Amino acid sequence: MRIEFFFDCSSPYTYLGFENIQPLAAEFGAEIVWRPILVGGVFNQVNPGIEFFKQKDAGTLPQRKVDYMLKDLGDRALAAGVKLKFPPSGHPVNSVKVMRACIVLEPQGKLIPFARAAFQAYFGEDRLLSDDAVIVDICKAAGVDPDWLFARIAEQSVKDALRANVDEIIARGGYGSPTYYLNGTDMYFGDDRLPLLRKAMERAQAGAPQPA
């Protein structure tokens, strides 16, 4: 089995998905294909209404709904065993350098520790992923040479690769982060849809036909 994971480190729900998809894939012996994206680029083209916290700032959501969504996020983080709080400043953050770094580091086997350190910095410590000094510290946590990384993420080929991932998820019907594709075509959006993905993996493992 093969799971493509389209993700942006600026999303709290993606942090949960990032941590939860790994044990699920390991349980089934499934391959995870990491697909970094810029979720803002997806929103701008196909889903502008999803930017919840911009709506919050504009006063378009009831406060009780905002309060519950934050509680729900905390409950889910507790269940996933991660430290997660919504950053009080700088959201939504510009994560372009971090996501380009994920493109570069995947072939090096460093994507997972780098992305985890990025999630922890932003959602655990309220440190902006747009800040080069923060990225340097993320590099150190992941065992990456920051000078080498900054040179690489400035290359046009890396910029193009990230843009191509954004274009691809849009072309395949995706509209946010995290998005999972099981075996190429079966799409699931959101960490809360992992129970449904699990059922699909069980069917695939048993050789049962997938729903149309």
Does residue 211 lie within any of the structural domains?
Answer: no
How many residues are given for the chain?
A: 212
Give the pLDDT band of residue 188 (cuts 50, 70, 90).
very high
**Which range of residues forms the domain containing residue 149?**
2-206
* Number of separate domains in the chain: 1
**Rg of the chain, C-alpha, whole Å:** 17
Does residue 107 lie within any of the structural domains?
Answer: yes
Does residue 164 lie within any of the structural domains?
Answer: yes
Q: Does the pTM exceed 0.95?
A: no
Across the range 84-103, mean pLDDT stands at 87
The pLDDT value recorded for residue 56 is: 44
Does residue 212 lie within any of the structural domains?
Answer: no
Does residue 127 lie within any of the structural domains?
Answer: yes
**With DSSP H G I counted as helix, E B as strand and the rest as coil, what are the percentages for the chain, rounded to 5?**
60, 10, 30
Question: Does residue 58 register a pLDDT over 70?
Answer: no
Does residue 198 lie within any of the structural domains?
Answer: yes
Question: Pseudo-torsion of CA 60, 64, 66, 67, nearest 10°?
Answer: 160
The enclosing domain of 119 has a CATH number of: 3.40.30.10
Does residue 10 lie within any of the structural domains?
Answer: yes
